[in-house]
């Protein structure tokens, strides 16, 4: 409000007509959506223009809403036209006129509300809500999911609301800021909260569609979830306990190992700390189940190590690796680098001057470590533990290949849906249990660690080097680090080796057959033929990842901008909502997406769009964090200078903040690109014959016993992603250099 | 006069649009497939090449496809449903979700395919059939000095403890067929005694039906209870697997095909149906290493494939054991009486 009061009348007029222009623009978009584009979803896909040739605009499947109404069908769409026309009555008015804001709000809320209401009320089988059926009798008509037309109209109504709210003075009356908030809230609502809530509802429903808390309780209190048979007899425990035990063990082990490496990197005089840091990208670029496969090839019943030991010591080999031990080894290998990444910051953050002070007071190295260094590291350790716990709980690939009889929640959810039981209610219940665990850990991390101050930063310059490790810690730490490093190296060598042998363990001759099978090319007179079986899924994966990555980064940065630079009511809830998906395991996202988007009003299953959307919303928190971190380093006076010179929030964001955030943007883009290429847990529910992803294809090969091709494909993926990360490094280096030379 | 001409012109235009829409629809086929992925692809591409009709394929397990067809019953989106075990096809026929059709190809088919079709009022038809059995890794068997198993009862011997895998009947249709076969073969009480005995020897109940034999092929397991054609597939791929047809007799599945009731492209669906039953098309199953016995009498079969005529097949009661009530009852009984026992 304040800035409008101080603006000159000319400025005000300009701002007013700008608002009117924006309103007009969105109204035109809404009208196009209502009268020109097909109202319902096209079964041939988003990019198919089949409808243009056949029967448009009269054929009901392809007709725009206005043509449907003109043919006297789908009359429940008529109120939308009224809400769409309403804003024209105030188009000439100034934005400070209370009528202007009121009309826009009525039009937007009414239109969007009615659009959603009719979408949920009327589905493929007529009335969806029993009460309407009893009120009006059978409908005798039906409708599919919303299509392009509906999408544009919904956007139009949404921005009527935000412009109306801005006109009433929300967030200093800045249309860009209010619209951004409205947009982020709307899409997070649709693509995170709506599916999750829908899944909760599914857990309460039986197969006949009757809702009851008893159905939930019956499924929830199942022996297969909470049974404790393993304590008393030789039978398996419930999946919930299995997952919990695994998560705790993996969290503790990765934290311990991560700490070991962090100590080696900072306090041992070890010169290759940079190399250790470089290795932390490994788990990010490794397809999730590859380590599991390598472990089978090494430690399985017929694995190389097992056979060697069995022959050397004359022991009968066993299947010990299938189950808890195998999953745990694979996950610890995969997630230790994440713990290292967290802990190296913590270990470095412990102020050397405090340790020096302790030593000056005549404490020996061990006492210093015990009384100063260790207590300061504790919150970091808790943080690393919770991260490991969440990652382990959410992991799907390793339990899938190594699980044996040790069932965990993430795989049980999958098999409740795809197996012969086909019990969506059970999948939903299991997903709720899993979600409770991960959200619990997420809350614990934020609440309990967020409050206490362990800051060792005194505000004064902190010179000095970290003291070396005390001797009684030194050797155990070195030994553990050496053994584990050796194991990691062997595993990755094995992955490569496994891709160039014919059949591991049976025919050990070297061959490039698997690479040729997967990525073969053939020259014919018709030109290049992509004969390899992997090309299809490979290109789809690249394409989907390349579409999802910039969108993820953009959404993350806009959200970060709102969080760092703007003040508005409900900001805490807004932040929580946008970060929430970090704690939602992929299998839960997958299940909730197929439950929510398989039926109108939003029909997305089987499309490429559902994959893109699932990536955007799973990886969004990372984009937000990257944005928040680097935006916090940009002084607010830059924005203020821009605003004082008369720019609005959008101009400031575009020409001041975005250029300065280039490294953060690049990091977010590459990270989401790589994550989209290695994701499996959500993807496996969402792929279709037309849009198959690399990881889902690889899992299919593994199920087909075709380990050679699976590992060869994974190796190619590892190198592709390595290249992506390398290019990013170069770009960031270049951009920081240009910035230096500019200044 | 002018007005009527205008109306006439408009209605002609609308009619033209409408026919364009209609003619467009005979040029595509929405095809639900419940067999293995590469086989599904082969059928889709083969049909496109043979007829020029564009095929939209969706691959889902037979249970999932059944659920989808049921959900879409008010407004069917699919045209033809090919592959997958017979139970859900029969269930769909029972619930009137599929269309009766007597193909001119019927005279070329084996009698088991015809009788299955007739039992469902011609709403479905057998395209392939596979018998249940088991396979073992010959090298591991020799290494552990184990006798060669030949019958179901052999698997109960204590020396096989920890050497046998089967899928969990709750998650796998193959394992449910095993359970139903054992119950029909030995009677319910003795059948469950058998399952309890077998439970002691099982090292892992896998999730997917064919996983036990794949593990055996890689040397991670010794004996896997699976459909015999899945075991043959591993043997043909070069793994040391021997396939066993149990001496007491065994059950089988009939992979089926149905036309969905209210199919939008009924003509194309019928074309596909006839085409899929020809000997040439069925012979192509070997290209994707599908070693089931095909329903067309003159379809080629691999010498490695199990010969159904030489296997003792039980008179599998598809109607009873395919019904969801019986399925639920048996699975619950297995959960309560077998799975809870210590191993």
Q: Do B41 and A689 touch (CB under 8 A)?
A: yes
Q: How many helices (H) and strands (E) does chain A have?
A: 38, 6
Q: Measure the N-to-C terminal CA separation of chain B; round to a whole number of Å.
A: 91
- Minimal Cα distance from A688: which residue of B? B58
d(CA B194, CA B121): 36
pLDDT given at position B38 = 81
Q: Quick check: A149 and A64 in contact, CB under 8 A?
A: yes
Task: Note the helical H segments in B55-210.
Answer: 62-71, 86-94, 111-119, 138-143, 173-186, 188-201
Q: What is the pLDDT of residues A356-407, one digit of tens each?
A: 888 888 888 888 888 887 888 877 888 889 888 988 998 888 998 888 888 8
pLDDT given at position B12 = 46
- Residues of chain A with pLDDT > 70: what percent? 90
Q: Which of residues 125-144 of A touch B (CB under 8 A)?
A: 125-126, 142
pLDDT given at position A16 = 54
- Residues of chain B with pLDDT > 70: what percent? 92
Tally of CA atoms within 13 A in the half-sphere of A657 that contains its CB: 29
Q: What is the pLDDT of residues B112-170, one digit of tens each?
A: 899 889 888 899 999 999 999 999 999 999 989 999 999 999 999 999 999 999 998 88
Nearest to B171 among A296, A316, A421 (CB): A421
Q: Do B20 and A422 touch (CB under 8 A)?
A: no
d(CA A600, CA A537): 28
B1 touches chain A (CB under 8 A): no
Instruction: Pick one of 3.40.50.2300, 1.25.60.10, 1.10.3720.10, 1.10.287.3510 as the CATH number of A240-457+464-477.
Output: 1.10.3720.10
Nearest to A422 among B63, B72, B210 (CB): B63
d(CA B29, CA B32): 10
Mean of per-residue pLDDT scores for chain A: 82
Q: Two tokens at B33?
A: 């497939």
Give the contacts of B154 (CB within 8 A, at least 6 positions apart): B147, B160
Tokens 């730490």 belong to which residue?
A477
Q: What is the pLDDT of residues A576-598, one digit of tens each?
A: 888 888 788 888 888 888 888 87
Classified as helix, coil or strand, A247 is: helix
Q: Which of B195, B218, B215 is nearest to B206 (CA)?
A: B215
Residue A485 has pLDDT above 60, yes or no: yes
Q: Do A55 and B75 touch (CB under 8 A)?
A: no
Angle in degrees, 0-180, between the axes of helices A148-167 and A78-85, rounded to the nearest 10: 40
Instruction: Pick one of 2.30.30.40, 3.40.250.10, 3.90.226.10, 1.10.3720.10 as the CATH number of A518-743.
Output: 1.10.3720.10
Q: Two tokens at B24?
A: 């467009």
Nearest to B176 among A54, A420, A506 (CB): A420
Tally of CA atoms within 13 A in the half-sphere of A363 that contains its CB: 18
Q: Do B204 and A404 touch (CB under 8 A)?
A: yes
Element (H, E) at A715: helix A707-742
B207 touches chain A (CB under 8 A): yes
Distance from CA of B106 to the nearest CA of A (A): 31
Nearest to A420 among B24, B77, B173 (CB): B173
Cβ density class B92-115: b for 16+ within 10 Å, e for less: bbeeebbbebebebeebbbebbbe
Q: Two tokens at B122?
A: 């011609």
Nearest to B74 among A125, A415, A505 (CB): A125
Q: Do B172 and A420 touch (CB under 8 A)?
A: yes
Q: Quick check: A721 and A677 in contact, CB under 8 A?
A: yes
Classified as helix, coil or strand, A368 is: helix
Chain A hits for B173, CB-CB cut-off 8 Å, are 420
Q: Of A272-281, A649-658, B193-202, which range is least confident?
A: A272-281
Instruction: Tell me the domains of chain B and their CATH numbers.
Output: 2-129+253-301 (3.40.190.10), 131-252+321-339 (3.40.190.10)
Nearest to A322 among B21, B56, B204 (CB): B204
Strand A501-503 relative to strand A507-510, pairing: antiparallel
Q: Do B18 and A59 touch (CB under 8 A)?
A: yes
Q: Two tokens at B182?
A: 């054992």
pLDDT given at position A463 = 57
- Residues of chain A with pLDDT > 90: what percent? 20
d(CA A584, CA A682): 10
How deeply is A506 buried, as exposed, middle or buried, from its count of CB atoms within 10 A (0-12, 13-18, 19+)? Answer: middle
Q: What is the pLDDT of residues A309-352, one digit of tens each?
A: 888 888 888 888 899 999 999 999 888 888 888 888 778 777 77
pLDDT given at position A47 = 63
Q: Do A124 and B74 touch (CB under 8 A)?
A: yes
pTM equals: 0.82
List Cα–Cα distances, B23 to A368, A384, A639, B27, B47, in angstroms: 85, 62, 60, 7, 19
Q: What is the pLDDT of residues A291-308, one digit of tens each?
A: 888 898 889 888 888 888
The residue-averaged pLDDT of A407-425 equals 79
Q: Do A55 and B17 touch (CB under 8 A)?
A: yes
Give the contacts of B36 (CB within 8 A, at least 6 positions apart): B288, B290
The distance between the two most distant Cα atoms of chain A, rounded to a whole number of Å, is: 94
The residue-averaged pLDDT of B181-198 equals 95
Interface test with B, best of A54, A705, A706, A708 (most B CBs within 10 A): A705
Residue A230 has pLDDT above 90, yes or no: no
B217 touches chain A (CB under 8 A): yes
A505 touches chain B (CB under 8 A): yes
What does A478-542 look like in DSSP terms, one character per residue? HHHHHHHHHHHHHHHHHHHHHHSEEETTTEEEE--HHHHHHH--EEETTEEE--STTHHHHHHHH
Q: What is the pLDDT of residues B224-269, one digit of tens each?
A: 999 999 999 899 888 999 999 999 999 999 999 999 998 888 999 9
Q: Do A419 and B170 touch (CB under 8 A)?
A: yes
d(CA B219, CA B213): 10
Q: Which of residues 14-43 of A touch B (CB under 8 A)?
A: 43
Chain B hits for A411, CB-CB cut-off 8 Å, are 207
Give B47's pLDDT tier (boundaries 50, 70, 90): very high
Classified as helix, coil or strand, B54 is: strand
Give the contacts of A103 (CB within 8 A, at least 6 positions apart): A86, A87, A89, A90, A164
Give the contacts of A220 (CB within 8 A, at least 6 positions apart): A203, A429, A432, A433
The dihedral through the CA atoms of A656, A662, A668, A673 has a sign that is: positive
Q: Do A235 and B61 touch (CB under 8 A)?
A: no
Q: Which of B14, B32, B11 is nearest to B22 (CA)?
A: B14
- Minimal Cα distance from A322: which residue of B? B204
d(CA A106, CA A86): 9
The dihedral through the CA atoms of B267, B273, B275, B281 has a sign that is: positive
B325 touches chain A (CB under 8 A): no
Q: Do A55 and B342 touch (CB under 8 A)?
A: no
Mean of per-residue pLDDT scores for chain B: 86
Distance from CA of A419 to the nearest CA of B (A): 4
Distance from CA of B314 to the nearest CA of A (A): 23
A641 touches chain B (CB under 8 A): no
Q: What is the pLDDT of residues A427-471, one digit of tens each?
A: 889 988 998 998 888 888 777 665 444 444 444 445 566 777 777
* A283/B25: higher pLDDT: A283
The residue-averaged pLDDT of A561-578 equals 87
- Minimal Cα distance from A57: which residue of B? B17
Q: Which of residues 74-133 of B touch A (CB under 8 A)?
A: 74-75, 77
The residue-averaged pLDDT of B49-66 equals 81
Q: Two tokens at A396?
A: 């799907």
d(CA A360, CA A324): 48
> In whole angstroms, what separates CA A141 from the centre of its chain?
38
d(CA A209, CA A334): 42
Residues found in chain A: 743
Q: Which of residues 325-364 of A touch B (CB under 8 A)?
A: none
- CB-CB neighbours of B31 under 10 Å: 26
Highest averaged pLDDT of the listed ranges A146-160, A413-427, A462-476? A146-160
Q: Do A235 and B343 touch (CB under 8 A)?
A: yes
Q: Quick check: A65 and A74 in contact, CB under 8 A?
A: yes
Q: Do A302 and B219 touch (CB under 8 A)?
A: yes
The residue-averaged pLDDT of A662-679 equals 84
Q: Two tokens at B236?
A: 């043909």
Please report the number of interchain residue pairs, chain A to chain B, with beta-carbon separation below 8 angstroms. 117
A113 touches chain B (CB under 8 A): no
Tokens 């496969």 belong to which residue?
A293
Element (H, E) at A55: none
Domain with CATH 1.10.3720.10 in chain A: 240-457+464-477, 518-743
Chain A hits for B14, CB-CB cut-off 8 Å, are 58
Q: Which of B183, B122, B196, B187 is nearest to B155 (CA)?
A: B196
Distance from CA of B119 to the nearest CA of A (A): 24
Element (H, E) at A110: helix A98-121
d(CA A261, CA A345): 12
């Amino acid at each position: 409000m304040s800035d409008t009061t101080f603006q000159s009348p000319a400025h005000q007029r300009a701002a007013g007509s700008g608002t009117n222009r924006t309103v007009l623009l969105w109204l035109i978009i809404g009208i196009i959506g209502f009268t020109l584009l097909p109202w319902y979803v096209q079964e041939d896909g988003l990019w198919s223009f089949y409808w243009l040739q056949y029967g448009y605009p009269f054929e009901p499947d392809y007709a725009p809403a206005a043509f449907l109404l003109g043919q006297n069908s789908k009359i429940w769409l008529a109120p939308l036209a009224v809400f769409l026309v309403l804003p024209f009555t105030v188009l000439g008015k100034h934005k400070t006129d209370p009528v202007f804001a009121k009309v826009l709000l009525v039009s937007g809320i009414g239109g969007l509300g009615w659009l959603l209401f009719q979408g949920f009320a009327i589905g493929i089988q007529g009335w969806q809500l029993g009460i309407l059926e009893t009120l009006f009798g059978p409908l005798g008509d039906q409708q599919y999911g919303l299509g392009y037309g509906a999408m544009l109209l919904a956007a139009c109504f949404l921005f009527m609301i935000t412009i109306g709210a801005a006109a009433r003075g929300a967030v200093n009356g800045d249309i860009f800021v209010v619209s951004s908030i409205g947009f982020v809230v709307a899409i997070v609502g649709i693509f995170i909260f709506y599916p999750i809530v829908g899944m909760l509802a599914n857990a309460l429903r039986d197969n006949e569609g009757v809702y009851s808390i008893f159905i939930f309780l019956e499924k929830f209190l199942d022996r297969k979830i909470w049974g404790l048979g393993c304590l008393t007899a030789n039978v398996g425990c419930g999946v919930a306990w299995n997952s919990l035990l695994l998560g705790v063990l993996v969290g503790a082990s990765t934290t311990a190992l991560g700490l070991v490496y962090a100590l080696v990197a900072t306090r041992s005089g070890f010169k290759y700390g940079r190399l250790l840091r470089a290795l932390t990208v490994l788990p990010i670029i490794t397809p999730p189940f590859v380590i599991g496969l390598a472990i089978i090839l090494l430690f399985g019943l017929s694995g190389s190590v097992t056979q060697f030991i069995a022959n050397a010591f004359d022991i009968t080999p066993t299947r010990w690796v299938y189950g808890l031990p195998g999953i745990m080894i694979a996950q610890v290998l995969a997630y230790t680098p994440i713990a290292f990444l967290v802990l190296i910051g913590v270990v470095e953050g412990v102020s050397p001057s405090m340790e020096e002070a302790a030593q000056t007071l005549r404490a020996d190295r061990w006492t210093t470590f015990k009384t100063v260094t260790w207590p300061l590291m504790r919150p970091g350790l808790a943080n690393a533990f919770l991260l490991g716990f969440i990652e382990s709980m959410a992991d799907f690939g390793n339990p899938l290949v190594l699980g044996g009889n040790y069932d965990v929640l993430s795989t049980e959810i999958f098999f409740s849906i795809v197996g012969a039981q086909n019990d969506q209610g059970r999948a939903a219940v299991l997903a709720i249990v899993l979600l409770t665990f991960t959200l619990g850990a997420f809350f614990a991390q934020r609440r309990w660690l967020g409050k206490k101050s362990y800051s060792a930063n005194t505000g004064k310059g902190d010179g000095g080097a970290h003291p070396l490790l005390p001797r009684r810690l030194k050797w155990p730490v070195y030994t553990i680090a050496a053994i584990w490093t050796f194991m990691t190296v062997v595993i990755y060598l094995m992955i490569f080796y496994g891709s160039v042998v014919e059949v591991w363990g049976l025919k050990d001759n070297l061959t490039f057959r698997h690479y040729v099978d997967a990525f073969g090319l053939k020259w014919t007179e018709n030109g290049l033929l992509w004969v390899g079986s992997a090309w299809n899924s490979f290109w789809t994966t690249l394409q989907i990842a390349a579409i999802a990555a910039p969108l993820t980064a953009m959404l993350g940065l806009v959200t970060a901008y709102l969080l760092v630079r703007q003040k508005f009511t409900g900001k805490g809830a807004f932040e929580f909502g946008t970060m929430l998906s970090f704690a939602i395991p992929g299998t839960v996202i997958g299940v909730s997406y197929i439950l929510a988007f398989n039926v109108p009003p939003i029909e997305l299953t089987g499309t490429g769009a559902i994959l893109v959307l699932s990536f955007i919303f799973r990886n969004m928190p990372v984009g937000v964090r990257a944005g928040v971190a680097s935006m916090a380093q940009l002084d607010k006076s830059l924005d203020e200078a821009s605003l004082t010179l008369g720019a609005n929030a959008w101009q400031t964001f575009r020409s001041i903040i975005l250029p300065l955030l280039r490294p953060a943007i690049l990091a977010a883009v590459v990270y989401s690109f790589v994550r989209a290429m290695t994701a499996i847990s959500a993807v496996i529910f969402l792929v279709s014959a037309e849009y198959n992803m690399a990881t889902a294809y690889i899992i299919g090969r593994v199920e087909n016993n075709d380990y050679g091709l699976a590992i060869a494909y994974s190796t190619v993926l590892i190198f592709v992603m390595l290249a992506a990360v390398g290019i990013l490094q170069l770009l960031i280096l270049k951009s920081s250099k240009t910035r230096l030379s500019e200044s | 006069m002018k007005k009527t001409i205008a109306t006439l012109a408009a209605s002609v235009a609308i009619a033209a649009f409408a026919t364009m829409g209609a003619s467009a629809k005979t040029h595509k086929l929405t095809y639900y497939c419940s067999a293995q992925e590469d086989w599904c692809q082969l059928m889709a591409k083969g049909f496109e090449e043979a007829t020029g009709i564009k095929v939209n394929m969706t691959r889902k397990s037979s249970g999932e496809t059944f659920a989808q067809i049921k959900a879409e019953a008010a407004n069917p989106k699919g045209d033809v449903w090919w592959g997958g075990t017979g139970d859900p096809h029969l269930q769909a026929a029972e619930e009137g979700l599929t269309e009766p059709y007597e193909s001119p190809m019927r005279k070329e088919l084996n009698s088991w395919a015809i009788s299955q079709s007739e039992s469902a009022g011609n709403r479905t038809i057998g395209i392939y059939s596979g018998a249940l059995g088991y396979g073992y890794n010959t090298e591991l068997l020799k290494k552990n000095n184990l006798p060669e198993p030949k019958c179901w009862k052999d698997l109960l011997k204590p020396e096989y403890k920890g050497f046998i895998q089967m899928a969990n009947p709750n998650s796998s249709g193959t394992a449910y067929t095993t359970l139903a076969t054992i119950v029909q073969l030995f009677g319910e009480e003795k059948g469950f005694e058998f399952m309890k005995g077998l439970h002691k020897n099982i090292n892992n109940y896998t999730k997917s039906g064919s996983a036990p034999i794949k593990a055996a092929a890689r040397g991670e397991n010794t004996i896997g209870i699976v459909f015999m054609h899945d075991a043959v597939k591993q043997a043909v791929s070069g793994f040391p697997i021997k396939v066993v047809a149990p001496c007491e007799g065994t059950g089988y599945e009939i992979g089926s095909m149905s036309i969905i009731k209210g199919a939008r492209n009924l003509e194309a669906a019928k074309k596909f149906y006839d085409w899929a039953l020809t000997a040439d098309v069925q012979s192509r199953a070997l290209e994707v290493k599908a070693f089931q016995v095909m329903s067309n009498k003159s379809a080629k079969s691999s010498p490695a494939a199990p010969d159904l005529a030489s296997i003792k097949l039980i008179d599998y009661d598809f109607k009873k054991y395919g019904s969801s009530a019986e399925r639920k009852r048996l699975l619950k009984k297995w959960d309560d009486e077998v799975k809870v026992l210590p191993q």
